[in-house]
């Protein structure tokens, strides 16, 4: 009987120890699962970007810099536009003042010549036909009915105390149109010294001009200037105004002589 009691005790202890081992195993697995969950959450949180206050400040700074750059570009563009308008206005004003000054000089010259004639008791109408020359605003003009190259034409004028015509303004250009009609004539303008730098025969640089469409275009091959009042067909069907051509070609020409060369000692 004692043996059976002993066996029961041993069996009871064995079962208790098995139960304890099972419980310990469960606790170990549960602990391991907790550790794995903790490691996974930690790894996940590690890979997620962390937004801090400094990132927000940097973003705001970048946006502010971009806005400032845009504003600066707008201000610079505005300044350039204002400057261009200012320069154009000044240039226009200077051109108008120059034209007005030239007009005043012409008017004063005419008044001076009129006074000289009056003091001498000689009416200006007596000189309207000075040996075939035509009088217009203090100058005499002559257009021979023959053709020569540019240099020979100029020589013809200088031998008579004149020179090839210098056209100063629109009025004189219109006068030349009426005088020449359909003829094509040399005028006293050339760029023979420096290509592209047009000068009159008195050495003055060209200011106002009446170039035809697309002229001048001859570069170094065409250094002397003609004036055309009526289109020449078929050679120059649309050209009216000034055009450059080879100085060696023969055309008519106009000589100009200032009235002061006749009335002043």
Residue 32 domain flag:
yes
Task: Look at 62 and 184; give whichever has higher pLDDT.
Answer: 184
Query: Tens digits of per-residue pLDDT, 29-88?
Result: 455 454 455 444 444 444 444 555 566 667 777 777 788 888 888 888 888 888 878 787
Residue 231 above 70 pLDDT? yes
Question: The domain that contains 188 carries what CATH number?
Answer: 3.10.100.10
User: Can you tell me the distance from the alpha carbon of 104 to that of 93, in angstroms, rounded to the nearest whole number?
Assistant: 16
Q: Does one domain contain both 38 and 137? A: no
Q: Are residues 134 and 230 in the same domain?
A: yes
State residue 155's pLDDT score.
97
pLDDT for 5 equals 47
Kindly state whether residues 145 and 16 are assigned to the same domain. Answer: no
In a domain, 128, yes or no: yes
Q: Are residues 42 and 133 in the same domain?
A: no
DSSP string, 63-125: HHHHHHHHHHHHHHHHHHHHHHHHHHHHHHHHHHHHHHHHHHHHHHHHHHHHHHHHHHT--GG
Q: Hey, what are 22's tokens?
A: 């099972």
Domain count, the chain: 2
Report which DSSP code applies to 225.
Answer: E
| Residue with tokens 């705001």, as numbered in its chain | 60
**What is the secondary structure of 32-47 as a DSSP string?**
HHHHHHHHHHHHHHHH
Q: pLDDT tens-digit profile of 93-146?
A: 777 777 677 667 766 766 666 665 556 555 555 444 556 788 888 889 999 999
Q: Do 138 and 256 fall within a single domain? A: yes
Is 101 domain-assigned? no
Q: Does the residue 174 lie in any domain?
A: yes
Write the CA distances from 21 to 9, 13, 30, 31, 33, integer angstroms: 18, 12, 14, 15, 18
86 in a structural domain: no
- 150 inside domain: yes
CA-to-CA distance for 137 and 117, rounded, in angstroms?
A: 14
Residues in the chain: 265
Instruction: Determine, yes or no, domain membership for 163.
Output: yes
Mean pLDDT of the chain: 76
Q: How far apart are CA 4 and CA 15, in angstroms?
A: 16
Tell me: do 19 and 147 sit in the same domain. no
Q: What is the DSSP letter of 197?
A: -
CB contact at 8 A, 242 and 226? yes
Do 147 and 36 sit in the same domain of this protein? no
Name the residue among 206, 209, 210 with its Cα closest to residue 240.
Answer: 210
Per DSSP, the three-state class of 23 is: helix
Q: Determine phi and psi for 137, rounding to 5 degrees.
A: 45, 65
128 with 259, same domain: the answer is: yes
Region of poorest pLDDT, from 99-108, 231-240, 252-261: 99-108
Whether 132 and 259 map to the same domain: the answer is yes
160 vs 227 pLDDT, higher one? 227
List the alpha helices (DSSP H) in 121-167.
150-158
| 55 located within any domain | no
Between 47 and 236, name the one with better pLDDT: 236
The pTM of this model reads: 0.55
pLDDT (0 to 100) of residue 2: 45
| Matching residue, tokens 């794995």 | 36
Domain boundaries, position 181 = 124-263
The yes-or-no verdict on residue 259 having pLDDT over 70 is yes
Give burial (CB, 10 Å; 0-12/13-18/19+) of 117: middle
pLDDT band for position 207 (50/70/90)? confident
**Does residue 204 register a pLDDT over 60?**
yes
What is the reported pLDDT for 212? 94
């Amino acid at each position: 009987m004692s043996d059976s009691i002993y066996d029961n005790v041993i069996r009871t202890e064995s079962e208790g120890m098995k139960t304890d081992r099972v419980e310990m195993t469960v606790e170990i697995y549960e602990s391991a699962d907790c550790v794995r969950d903790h490691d996974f959450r930690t790894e996940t949180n590690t890979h997620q970007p962390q937004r801090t206050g400094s990132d927000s400040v940097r973003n705001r700074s970048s946006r502010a810099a971009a806005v400032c750059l845009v504003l600066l570009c707008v201000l610079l563009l505005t300044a350039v536009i204002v400057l261009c308008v200012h320069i154009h206005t000044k240039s226009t004003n200077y051109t108008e003042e120059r034209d007005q000054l030239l007009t005043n000089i012409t008017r004063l010259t005419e008044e001076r010549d009129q006074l000289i004639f009056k003091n001498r008791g000689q009416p200006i109408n007596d000189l309207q036909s000075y040996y075939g020359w035509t009088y217009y605003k203090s100058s005499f003009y002559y257009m021979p009915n023959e053709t020569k190259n540019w240099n020979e034409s100029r020589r013809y004028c200088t031998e008579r105390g004149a020179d090839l015509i210098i056209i100063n303004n629109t009025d004189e250009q219109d006068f030349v149109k009426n005088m020449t009609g359909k003829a094509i004539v040399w005028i006293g303008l050339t760029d023979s010294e420096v290509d592209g730098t047009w000068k009159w025969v008195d050495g003055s640089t060209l200011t106002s001009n009446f170039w035809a469409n697309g002229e001048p275009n001859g570069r170094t091959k065409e250094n002397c200037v003609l004036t055309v009042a009526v289109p020449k067909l078929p050679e120059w069907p649309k050209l009216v105004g000034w055009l450059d051509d080879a100085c060696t070609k023969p055309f008519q020409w106009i000589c100009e002589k200032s009235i002061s060369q006749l009335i002043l000692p």
